Structure 1
Amino acid sequence: MSKQALFVPVLLVLLSAWVYSSLRPPPPSLCGSPGGPPVTAPRIVLRDGRHLAYKEHGVPRDAALHKIIFVHGFGSCRHEALIATDTPSEIIDELGVYVASFDKPGYGESDPDPKRTTKSLALDIEELGDRLGLGARFYVAGFSMGGQAIWGCLKYIPHRLAGAVLIAPVVNFWWPGFPTNLSTQAYAQQPLSDQWALRVAHHAPWLNYWWNTQKWFAPSSVFAGSPRLSRQDMELSLKLVAEQQQSYRAEVKQQGEFESICRDMMIGFGKWEFDPMELEDPFPNKEEGRSVHLWQGDEDTLVPISLQRYIVGKLPWIRYHEITGAGHMFPKADGMSESIVRTLLYDR
């Protein structure tokens, strides 16, 4: 065989190897593994052997009147538990509130979960509550992508909940309960780079890591840390920048981007096992005093207000709180976190 005849198949093999290596994300750098980040947080061992790192806030667990598990948002970690860290400590003490926040799988010091689903995360939350001895029922709260995770708790572990609050929960444009014209219109209002990134996360999740890390064209604006901001969010930006300079920011993606923020996108905008708009009231016995709350800013540039309004219109058992002039980060405005906590605990 001539050298020219050998060139084409060799070139194809080399090209295939390059494509494969480019698309394949690097393995995570597990906490506690040789050469990996150190383990500094308390962790529990879950049912499948994974470690889940957590942090405790507020009054001591044994003295608490109210116990809450908080789920952080996209690109965040256990240190950022808004309802605890942004509510004055004297208010937390007055209300007798204990908050347990945790690193979602792959974030911070929690082991990755390659099999993660909305259900598995809800079961992680239930198991954390059991291991910490939070009792038969506890509250759950989540912000942004963490707020989206609360839908899984309402679906899979409602019997364990004393109440729930979704704070600016991220919406999946592909939930089947949305009218096509409404979701299409809201989707078209997103930046073009985000439209493409979300389309990849939903239809071709195996391309998600490559899409958001290649240098040829713009990735997701949220992935790149440059989302479009509302007026209020821009006013809060100095406070946010100061917080993001805290030393723990390095922990968020220390095990790798794929099993943290990429996995979040793949789950959040992928194909769900259920449609939140088909959920039944998890607390039909009103005398038990349990309730579900959803807070949303009407100028949120990341979560379309039109879709959030449609969701709560389909689920009349949700107590909806719409904040005029508020952006996505409204819980960080003065007094907002306190209002959210008080409403969760006492507005029945």
Structure 2
Amino acid sequence: MAEVRGANTWREELASLVEDTGILYTGEAATFSSLPPFNPEKSTAMAAAVSETDHETEPPETLKEQVTEFLKSWCEMVLELGRGCRDILQQTVVTEDSFVVQKLGGPVARVSSRLRFLNEFLPEDRDPVHAWPVIFFVFILAFSALNLNGGHDGLAPAVKKVLVHPPSASRIQLPDGRHLAYREIGVPADKARFSLMAPHSFLSSRLAGIPGVKIPLLEEFGVRLVSYDLPGFGESDPHPSRNLNSSAFDMLHLADAVGVDDKFWVLGYSGGSIHAWAALRYVPHRIAGAAVVAPMINPYEPSMTKEEMRSIWGESLPRRKLMYYLARRLPKLLSFFYRRSFLSGKHGRIEKLMSVSLGRRDEILTEGATFEDFWHRDVEESVRQGNTKPFIEEAILQVSNWGFSLADLQVQRKCYRNGIFPWLKSLYSLAECELAGFLGPIHIWQGMDDQAVPQGMIDHISRVLPGATMHKLPNEGHFSFFFFCDECHRQIFSTLFGSPQGPLEQATNGGEILSEGDMEEQSLATDSTNK
């Protein structure tokens, strides 16, 4: 019992667990006489002071921060939603046994195989499956930004609209009933020493001819320049199914209609050169000679070497290569691009509309007001009819089978040896052989700084037409030699026609007009009499 009493009580056990504060509990009621009486107003003031101190240490959140946090949260939710949708599509739609894959898998695979050539434009270390979605997404964003900001850019120059002019061309009626519009400058038909027919290039018209050529220069050389609108361009009627053969005979019928009775010269510039080549091939008996400036050929010509092909496709702009491909494989899609460029009703830079690069001299030339006025007027006449068909036809003509190759124009001896008797006869006589190809002179002018005509095209022409005279022009571009260059025009005429002799004189003898040969004989007879 004594041991039990000697044990600590519960109060002592509890006191041993806490720190000794020095206050002894005696069991009496505790009094707090030293504390002041409670004051409610003073307590409220102290709480307000504490609240103001908290607000000073933690500034309030601005509206911008609230919006930013909301957008972050919203983007995170959209991202998670997109990931969920992607997982659902991968697990249900993109599987091999899904209805969508079974129905669309084959057509999508065929389209992908036809568009596989576009992968050549990607870097080698990029996977097309990941690269093309990013490219299309960025393209859509850029296109949207341009559309939104295009109308608010006050610093951009005003875009000129394409104007419609009243008809002004002379026209002839062709044997098939179509009408062909043409323009004639220089000396009159009865005084012309030389007649020069000039088909225009792509996105051009009869107004081009030789851009900026002076009338006194034409008269000095006695030249009659006849330029005309290709079918469907300008004021010429469209052709239901034109090709290079029909193009050559249109030129021939025009020459006959305007009074060119003898042979005439043909001038082809850039895309118009394909019509000059066609004239040399299909109506060579009426062609005296040809002048070709910055010539174009078929980029798919099968006789080209690998080096020439590599040069042509390596130097062309991506958009240019795309136009070539569409013209050859999907020509109907060209209408989409044409409607948004030169047929949009607005003028644009020539290098953008033609998908070409410009050299230094070309840039200086095209920035001038003279060139801009001429270019705008020429384009307005070219797109007068507002139809994409003639432009698509012109693009197809360049990249399709011409029906001949440039090698066919080279002069060569052709012998007919069908059968054993003609062959035996040819061993002893050359009567069965004749010269084939174009027998007249061919002069080609090409600028060495031409960014529109790849060097591979010039190499191919030089190789298959060794008889043609190639004039290489250092530092000249695609436009600088042919447009508004008096010395260049004089150089072309001097090369083709020799020394200037002026127009023919209408010397009469008994009421008859003497020809050029008769006048030379009369002059020689007079000189001998005087001696």
Q: Is the CA contact 2:406–2:464 (under 8 Å) kept in the aligned structure 1?
A: no
Separation in structure 2 between the aligned mates of residue 222 and residue 118 of structure 1, nearest angstrom: 26
Separation in structure 1 between the aligned mates of residue 272 and residue 183 of structure 2, nearest angstrom: 16
- What pairs up with 1:102-121 in 2 under 5 angstroms? 102-121=228-247
Separation in structure 2 between the aligned mates of residue 171 and residue 139 of structure 1, nearest angstrom: 20
Is 1:122 matched with 2:248? yes
The offset of 1:205, in angstroms, is 2.3
Partner of 1:45: 173
TM-score, length-normalised on structure 1?
A: 0.80
Superposed CA offset, 1:136-184 (max 9, x none): 3111111111122111011101100111111111222111221134213
Separation in structure 2 between the aligned mates of residue 346 and residue 78 of structure 1, nearest angstrom: 26
Higher mean C-alpha displacement, 61-70 vs 329-338: 329-338
The offset of 1:282, in angstroms, is 9.0
- The one-letter code matched in structure 1 to 2:487 is G
> How has the CA–CA distance of structure 1 residues 278 and 290 changed in structure 2, closer, same or farther, with 3 Å as cutoff?
closer
- What pairs up with 1:185-224 in 2 under 5 angstroms? 185-213=311-339, 224=353
Separation in structure 1 between the aligned mates of residue 351 and residue 239 of structure 2, nearest angstrom: 22
Is 1:233 matched with 2:359? no
Superposed CA offset, 1:10-47 (max 9, x none): xxxxxxxxxxxxxxxxxxxxxxxxxx986431111112
- The one-letter code matched in structure 1 to 2:493 is V
Separation in structure 1 between the aligned mates of residue 312 and residue 209 of structure 2, nearest angstrom: 29
Is there any run of 5+ residues in structure 2 with no aligned partner, and where? 1-163, 342-349, 414-433, 500-531
The offset of 1:214, in angstroms, is 6.0
- SS of 1:300's partner is coil
Q: Is the CA contact 1:312–1:318 (under 8 Å) kept in the aligned structure 2?
A: yes
The offset of 1:223, in angstroms, is 7.0
The offset of 1:257, in angstroms, is 4.1
The offset of 1:122, in angstroms, is 0.5
Separation in structure 1 between the aligned mates of residue 237 and residue 389 of structure 2, nearest angstrom: 9
- What pairs up with 1:1-348 in 2 under 5 angstroms? 39-82=167-210, 85-213=211-339, 224-225=353-354, 227-237=356-366, 238=368, 239-246=370-377, 249-281=379-411, 290-329=440-479, 330-332=481-483, 333-346=485-498
- The one-letter code matched in structure 2 to 1:292 is I
Q: Is the CA contact 2:449–2:477 (under 8 Å) kept in the aligned structure 1?
A: yes
Question: In proportion to residue count, which structure has more helix?
Answer: 2
Separation in structure 1 between the aligned mates of residue 472 and residue 174 of structure 2, nearest angstrom: 37
- SS of 1:331's partner is coil
- SS of 2:233's partner is coil
- The one-letter code matched in structure 1 to 2:482 is P
- SS of 2:384's partner is coil
Q: Which one scores higher on RCO, CA 8 angstroms, separation ≥ 6? A: 1
Amino-acid identity (%): 31
Partner of 2:103: none
Q: Is the CA contact 1:103–1:110 (under 8 Å) kept in the aligned structure 2?
A: yes
- The one-letter code matched in structure 2 to 1:331 is F
Equivalenced residue count is 302
Q: Is the CA contact 2:203–2:379 (under 8 Å) kept in the aligned structure 1?
A: no
The offset of 1:225, in angstroms, is 4.7
Separation in structure 1 between the aligned mates of residue 412 and residue 351 of structure 2, nearest angstrom: 32
> How has the CA–CA distance of structure 1 residues 282 and 67 changed in structure 2, closer, same or farther, with 3 Å as cutoff?
farther
The offset of 1:203, in angstroms, is 2.2
Separation in structure 1 between the aligned mates of residue 404 and residue 234 of structure 2, nearest angstrom: 28
Separation in structure 2 between the aligned mates of residue 115 and residue 302 of structure 1, nearest angstrom: 28
The offset of 1:249, in angstroms, is 4.0
Greater gyration radius: 2
Separation in structure 1 between the aligned mates of residue 396 and residue 236 of structure 2, nearest angstrom: 18
CA-atom RMSD, angstroms?
2.6
- SS of 2:197's partner is strand
- SS of 2:248's partner is helix
- SS of 1:325's partner is coil
The offset of 1:334, in angstroms, is 4.2
The offset of 1:109, in angstroms, is 0.2
The offset of 1:132, in angstroms, is 1.0
TM-score, length-normalised on structure 2?
A: 0.53
- SS of 2:353's partner is coil
The offset of 1:91, in angstroms, is 1.9
> How has the CA–CA distance of structure 1 residues 271 and 182 changed in structure 2, closer, same or farther, with 3 Å as cutoff?
same
Separation in structure 2 between the aligned mates of residue 47 and residue 228 of structure 1, nearest angstrom: 41
Superposed CA offset, 1:36-66 (max 9, x none): 9864311111121111000111011111111
> How has the CA–CA distance of structure 1 residues 180 and 226 changed in structure 2, closer, same or farther, with 3 Å as cutoff?
closer
Separation in structure 2 between the aligned mates of residue 294 and residue 223 of structure 1, nearest angstrom: 26
Higher mean C-alpha displacement, 106-115 vs 301-310: 301-310
- The one-letter code matched in structure 2 to 1:228 is S
The offset of 1:256, in angstroms, is 2.2
Higher mean C-alpha displacement, 92-101 vs 251-260: 251-260
Is there any run of 5+ residues in structure 1 with no aligned partner, and where? 1-35, 216-220
> How has the CA–CA distance of structure 1 residues 292 and 245 changed in structure 2, closer, same or farther, with 3 Å as cutoff?
same
> How has the CA–CA distance of structure 1 residues 115 and 240 changed in structure 2, closer, same or farther, with 3 Å as cutoff?
same
